[in-house]
């Protein structure tokens, strides 16, 4: 599946600073498994299991992995839509991991989310004007004519005709609805947007338009992105650095260039082998087909969680959890092959 974008996908267009906007340290999100009449807790699903990463101001960090790897749970936990089980979330210098609901509201103004399915995330009974007005109302921003002008300007910026402001979501195409979702995320001028598979539900031709829109808006609104996707082919076009997750754990983090040119982790190598080349300068790869299914996060394998499917697995992989560490400068991986 090829996506046409305006530039070489391995070159970044946006300006990235060295300052960290988001820092995640040892984050865990476990969901209890309850059974029986008394709903006793008999175990837990380790959806996110001790992951650490950071996102710099102005950067786009891509978070990738197959479905069920914990990437969306990570996004929702960072937004504090889920309570973290353990670990720290530091946003713009403030530890928000344990903030009470009342204190989270101002943070939510700064971190917004764009969801996968724009139709189910937009209320079908409300006009675009109402949908875009609501966050402004909650935060008491702009009134009357000023608010109308602000909304129309926002629509224009995301490529929607401001004359359609009184229309309902069902009157728009899938791509246009995602533009509405993006406009809603931008309403409060956030510092960061978490895109949870924001183009997966769209046609390939529309995907490229929405990805280009994300890129254009980044410069204009000074945005930092956490871009969640299951397809390395998609994040390639928008990310500066990429983290690869498998079964709740971080497997590898590197700059886009290092990850695509020299992936270290066998799981990343397998994922990349399935991505068609979109530029003649890209490395030709032999397809690696992974055996078996992803194990249940309620009962993850001992040792390296990837050992049941890894083509390079050794005896030690079945027993010992590999440490997530820097293998090359700014290139991290969790794999015994590099010990
Ligand atoms: Fe494969 Fe072992 Fe590395 Fe895990 S630690 S990815 S099983 S080689």
CA–CA distance, 276 with 108 (Å, rounded to integer): 37
For residue 155, give the nearest of 139, 174, 171, 131 by alpha carbon: 131
pLDDT digits (tens, 9 = 90+) for 303-324: 999 999 999 999 999 999 999 9
Secondary structure (DSSP) of 314-325: -GGGGTSPPPEE
Does residue 245 contact residue 63 with C-beta atoms inside 8 Å? Answer: yes
pLDDT value of position 2: 40
Res 164: pLDDT? 95
pLDDT tens digits in sequence order for the chain, 339 residues long:
343 444 444 445 567 778 999 999 999 999 999 888 888 888 899 999 999 999 999 999 999 999 889 999 999 999 999 999 999 999 999 999 999 888 888 898 999 999 988 778 889 999 999 999 999 998 889 989 999 999 999 999 999 999 999 999 999 999 999 999 999 999 999 999 999 999 998 998 899 999 999 999 999 999 999 999 998 888 888 999 999 999 999 999 999 999 999 999 999 999 999 887 777 777 778 889 888 889 999 999 999 999 999 999 999 999 999 999 999 999 999 999 998
Report the length, in residues, of the chain. Answer: 339
pLDDT value for 38: 84
Q: Is 313 in the pocket of ligand 1 (CB under 6 A)?
A: yes
How far apart are the C-alpha atoms of 216 and 6, rounded to whole Å? 11
Pairing label, strands 324-328, 86-91 = unpaired
Residue 1's pLDDT is 39
Residue 293 and residue 40 in contact, taking contact as beta carbons nearer than 8 Å: no
* Tokens read off for 211: 């990805």
Given the CA of residue 318, which atom of ligand 1 is nearest to it? 7
Using a 6 Å cutoff on CB, does residue 266 contact ligand 1?
Answer: yes
Residue with the nearest Cα to atom 6 of ligand 1? Answer: 335
The residue to mutate among 302, 317, 318, 339, having the most atoms of ligand 1 within 8 angstroms of its beta carbon, is 317
If you search the block for the tokens 């029986």, which residue do you land on?
36
Torsion angle of the four alpha carbons 85, 91, 93, 99, in this order, in degrees rounded to the nearest 10: -50
| 303 in contact with ligand 1, CB cutoff 6 A | no
pTM: 0.91
The ligand 1 atom at the shortest distance from the C-alpha of residue 311 is 1
Q: What's the CA-to-centroid distance between 77 and ligand 1, angstroms?
A: 27
Three-state DSSP state, 53 = strand
The domain limits of the chain are 20-110+192-291+321-338, 119-187
Is the CB of 333 within 6 Å of ligand 1?
no
Confirm or reject: Cβ of 9 under 6 Å from ligand 1: no
Output the pLDDT for position 231.
Answer: 86
Would you state the pLDDT for residue 6?
41
For the record, the structure tokens of 272 come out as: 């990349």
Task: From 248, 124, 219, 103, select the one nearest 177 (Cα to Cα).
Answer: 124
pLDDT of residue 3: 38
Q: Convert the pLDDT of each residue in 35-94 to its tens digit.
A: 888 888 888 999 999 999 999 999 999 999 998 899 999 999 999 999 999 999 999 999
The CATH superfamily label for domain 20-110+192-291+321-338 reads: P-loop containing nucleotide triphosphate hydrolases (3.40.50.300)
Q: Whose CA is nearest to atom 7 of ligand 1?
A: 307
Which residue, among 231, 174, 229, 225, has the nearest Cα to 197 in the 3D structure? 229
Per DSSP bridges, beta strands 86-91 and 94-95 are antiparallel
Pocket-testing residue among 336, 338, 339, ligand 1, by greatest number of atoms within 8 A of Cβ: 336
What is residue 219's predicted lDDT score, i.e. its pLDDT? 92
């Amino acid at each position: 599946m090829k996506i046409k974008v305006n530039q070489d996908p391995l070159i970044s267009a946006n300006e990235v600073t060295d300052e960290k906007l988001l820092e995640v340290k040892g984050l865990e999100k476990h969901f209890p498994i309850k059974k029986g009449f008394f709903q006793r807790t008999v175990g837990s699903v380790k959806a996110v299991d001790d992951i650490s990463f950071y996102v710099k101001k102005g950067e786009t960090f891509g978070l990738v992995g197959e479905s069920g790897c914990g990437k969306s749970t990570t996004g929702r936990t960072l937004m504090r839509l889920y309570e973290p089980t353990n670990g720290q979330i530091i946003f713009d210098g403030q530890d928000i991991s344990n903030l009470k609901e009342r204190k989270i509201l101002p943070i939510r103004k700064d971190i917004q989310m764009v969801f996968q399915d724009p139709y189910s995330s937009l209320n079908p009974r409300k006009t675009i004007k109402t949908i875009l007005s609501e966050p402004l109302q909650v935060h008491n921003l702009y009134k009357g004519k000023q608010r109308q002008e602000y909304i129309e300007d926002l629509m224009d910026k995301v490529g929607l005709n401001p004359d359609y402001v009184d229309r309902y979501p069902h009157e728009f195409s899938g791509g246009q609805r995602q533009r509405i979702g993006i406009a809603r995320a931008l309403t409060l001028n956030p510092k960061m947007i978490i895109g949870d598979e924001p183009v997966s539900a769209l046609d390939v031709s529309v995907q490229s338009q929405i990805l280009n829109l994300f890129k254009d808006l980044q410069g204009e609104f000074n945005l930092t992105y956490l871009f969640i996707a299951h397809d390395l082919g998609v994040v390639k076009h928008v990310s500066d650095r990429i983290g690869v997750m498998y079964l709740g754990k971080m497997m590898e983090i590197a700059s886009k260039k290092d990850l695509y040119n020299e992936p270290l982790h066998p799981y990343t190598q397998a994922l990349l082998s399935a991505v068609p080349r979109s530029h003649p300068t890209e490395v030709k790869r032999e397809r690696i087909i992974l055996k078996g299914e992803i194990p249940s996060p309620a009962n993850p394998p001992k040792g390296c969680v990837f050992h049941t499917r890894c083509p390079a697995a050794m005896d030690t992989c079945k027993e010992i959890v590999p440490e997530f560490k820097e293998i090359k400068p700014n290139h991290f991986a969790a794999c015994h092959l590099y010990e």
